[in-house]
Amino acid sequence: MRVPAPAPAATDPGAPVPIEDYAVLGDGRTAALVSSRGSVDWLCLPGFDSAACFAAVLGTPGHGRWLLTVPDATTVERRYEDDSFVLETTYTSPTGTAVVREAMPLGDGRADLIRVLTCTSGSVAVEHEWVVRLGYGSIRPWVHHVRDEDGEDTIRAIAGPDSLVLRGDRLPSPDGHRHRDAFRLQAGEHVALTLTWTPSWEPVPARLPARERLDQTAAAWREWLASGRPGSAHRAAVVRSLLVLRLLTDSETGGIVAAATTSLPEHLGGERNWDYRYCWLRDAAMTLEALLEEGYAEEATRWRDWLLRAVAGDPSDLQIMYRVDGGRDLVERELAHLPGYAGSRPVRVGNDAVAQRQHDVLGEVMMALEAAREGGLQETDESWSLQRHLVDDLVGNWREPDRGIWEVRGEPRHFVHSKVMAWTAFDCAVRAVERHGLDGPADVWRAERDAVRAQVLAEGYDAERGTFVQHYGAGHTDAALLAIATTGFLPASDPRLLGTVAAVRAELEIAPGLLLRYRTERTDDGLHGEEHAFLACSFWLADALARAGDAVGAGRVLDALLPLANDVGLLAEEYDPVTGRMMGNVPQALSHLALVRAVHRYELALAGRHPGRTQELPVVARSAGRVHVPDDVGAPAGPAVVPGTDGAAAHLR
């Protein structure tokens, strides 16, 4: 279905493009944001956590963008082609219509962005502007014309180690510190353009067949999707979310980034602006669980291998996040030259939360690895040794306060969610020994598990109010408490959890189904300003209701949340129900994985099934690196094979 895309307010040409106006393109290594008006306003090359060459989303067009549009269009409609990240945008102007197809091709072993604009009726005016600024908009490169290996005219921009090449049917001309072009196309005419990143010391690479690579890329995305078994409830939203999760998974290293952007604000004009282009162990583990529940087991092996490399070393040196390649250096700094989205400063790269103690992280990791075991992934000596050492280290430090799942920059606390996840880590370790015969000090872990449980029930539960609280001694909740229902700490229908769900809704629900993660006036997070409804927490509400057997209640929450996605199915971190605007980084893995898992649990609740933590997972077998789902779970026996796309499909496997 095509839905008219929102456009920036014509009355204020300086207003920022709404966050929900952006679509995303990606090649499994990085991602681009493109507005409905055809401006690529964010792109980091060659990787997610590389410096941006187009950074207009955090500043002005002068900080880098690539515009290809029909400037006098009165209607803009867009969609992703089938189940892919090939974006099709239709512009209707007073004199004709035009369609732009664009994507970042898969499987080339390089970084490209292809854009093909075709006039489909009448005639259309076309505007093309190319403004390259490396180093997050701070560096004007040396831009010059060269000949490629075919002898064709090519524009090349070079600064330091980076080179960007623009090629196409017609190239823009210099205009100050940018390149511009304006022309008309008649029905049946088209212009194809390709942007390519290479190291500056390498020659200009060969040209790509633009239309063929767009078709092959769409087919590769469809092939990946066919390798799993998405459920039938709210299928369109689930499928797009699964594709987003795969897009945010680095195809070379297996690392899973939390989002494609940095510093898109949680509150306009505020300081709650963070760099999410890194691999949080927590978010990645939850992503893996969501993919496993929908039958995508191939990612389990690749992420486990990434985890082994990233955390190798002393268990006490475990970080909560890493770079995409497993690097540990994420020092936070501010980019003073960028004014920020809608004046929201500072603009940050890196993230100082990397040094925080967060006890919940290991619980999420252990749950994900347990889910992989239950799904049939063979445990290796190395992977189990890693888990043993991490759990043994937790024995000595779970009693310490931490910064919690929300990474507060105020004083550490004994956060109840963190303690419950520590319980979960011990519980998973005990189950690994008892159920799978792995070697480990189960008696020690069992005793620690019991100690955590006793402490949480004694100090983290308010019997008078009938609810768990945010941290020991608190008189309020936070939405992370909803996640207790996913762990097995108590049955999801236990009155103490039902009371917690009710208390969370009473304190944090600001519109039907929409929850704050906590009240900023009650939580010392070390920051000024406010927040908006946190979408992942809102989906956790639906998940908790479904786990408790309230399919009707879960359905109502999903009915309120699912329409909040933008016209191409993307979700940011937060949503402001007053203005109807998305806030925070986009697309946000946590929002999309929470959607997938909530719908999965809702579907089980509709069927009257309330399995334990991992009992609903399909059992998968492996053959020649492919995933095969048994016929008895109602999915195809293997992935569909699309002729002519082997290279691109391999890029996603």
Q: Are 170 and 88 in contact (CB under 8 A)?
A: no
Choose among 185, 197, 47: nearest CA to 121. 185
Sole residue written with tokens 């620690």: 448
> Between the CA of residue 23 and those of 5, 403, 568, what are the distances in Å?
10, 33, 7
Confidence band of 229 (pLDDT split at 50, 70, 90): very high
Q: Which residue has the tokens 């799978």?
A: 436
Give the list of residues 6+ apart from residue 650 with CB closer than 8 angstroms, or none. 107
- Whether the CB-CB separation of 86 and 218 falls below 8 Å is answered with yes
Per-residue pLDDT tens for 266-300?
A: 999 999 999 999 999 999 999 999 999 999 988 88
Q: Which two tokens stand for residue 596?
A: 């997938």
List the alpha helices (DSSP H) in 322-415.
Answer: 360-374, 381-395
| pLDDT of residue 58 exceeding 90 | yes
Q: What is the mean pLDDT of residues 405-414?
A: 93
Q: Strand, helix or coil at 146?
A: strand
Pick from 258, 277, 339, 329: nearest CA to 52? 277
Predicted confidence at residue 612, as pLDDT, reads 67
pLDDT tens column, 416-442:
999 999 999 999 999 999 999 999 999
pLDDT at residue 495 tops 70 = yes
Taking the CB of residue 580, how many other CB atoms lie within 10 A of it? 11
- The DSSP H or E segment spanning 164 is strand 162-168
Angle (deg, nearest 10), helices 235-247 and 589-606: 140
Query: Would you state the structure tokens that stand for residue 125, as one six-digit string?
Result: 């005016």
Question: Would the pLDDT of 22 be above 70?
Answer: yes
Residue count of the chain: 653
From residue 188, alpha-carbon distances to 124, 310, 474, 586 in Å are 11, 51, 67, 35
28 torsion bin: left (phi>0), alpha (psi -120 to 50), beta (else): left
Nearest to 340 by CA among 329, 330, 348: 348
DSSP codes, 38-68: SEEEEEESSSTTSPEEE-GGGS-GGG-EEEE
**pLDDT tens digit string along 559-574?**
999 999 999 999 999 9
Which value, to the nearest 10 degrees, does the dihedral of the CA atoms of residues 505, 592, 607, 227 take? -170
pLDDT at 12 over 60: no
pLDDT for 108-153, tens place per residue? 889 999 999 999 999 999 999 999 999 999 999 999 999 988 889 9
Q: Which of 504, 568, 500 is nearest to 534 (CA)?
A: 504
> From the CA atom positions of the chain, what is the Rg in Å?
25
Please report, for residues 101, 185, 186, 583, the alpha-carbon distance to residue 95 in angstroms, rounded to integers and kept in the order given: 20, 11, 10, 36
50 and 43 in contact (C-beta within 8 Å)?
Answer: no
445: alpha, beta or left? (left if phi > 0; alpha if psi -120 to 50): alpha
Which among 444, 300, 312 is positioned nearest to 390, based on CA atoms? 312
445-459 mean pLDDT? 98
| pLDDT(640) > 80 | no
Q: What angle do CA 541, 545, 549 make, to 5 degrees?
A: 165
pLDDT at residue 54, as a whole number = 98
- Paired with 197 in beta bridges are 111, 164
Q: Tell me the C-alpha to C-alpha distance, in Å, between residue 100 and each of 115, 126, 167, 213, 258.
A: 7, 11, 16, 15, 29
Contact status, residue 616 vs residue 293, Cβ threshold 8 Å: yes
In whole angstroms, what is the distance from residue 448 CA to residue 471 CA? Answer: 20
Which tens digit of pLDDT belongs to each residue from 512-539?
999 999 999 999 888 888 899 999 999 9
Structure tokens that stand for 295 in this block: 């039958």
pLDDT for the residue numbered 351 = 95
Average pLDDT over residues 601-605: 96
Q: Is the peptide bond before 205 cis (omega within 30 degrees of 0)?
A: no
Q: Specify the DSSP class assigned to residue 614.
A: S
Q: Cα separation of 471 and 400, whole Å?
A: 13
* Per-residue DSSP letter, 588: B
Cβ partners under 8 Å of residue 458, min gap 6: none
* One-character DSSP codes across 62-122: GG-EEEEE-TT-SEEEEEESSSSS-EEEEEEETTEEEEEEEE--SSSSSEEEEEEEEEEEE
Q: Specify the pLDDT at position 316.
A: 87
Mean pLDDT of the chain: 91
Helix (H) or strand (E) holding 570: none
In 509-620, which residue ranges form alpha helices assigned H by DSSP? Answer: 535-547, 551-561, 589-606
* CA 512, 516, 518, 520 torsion-angle sign: negative
- CA-CA distance, 251 to 107, in Å (whole number)? 10
Residues 584-588 have a mean pLDDT of: 98
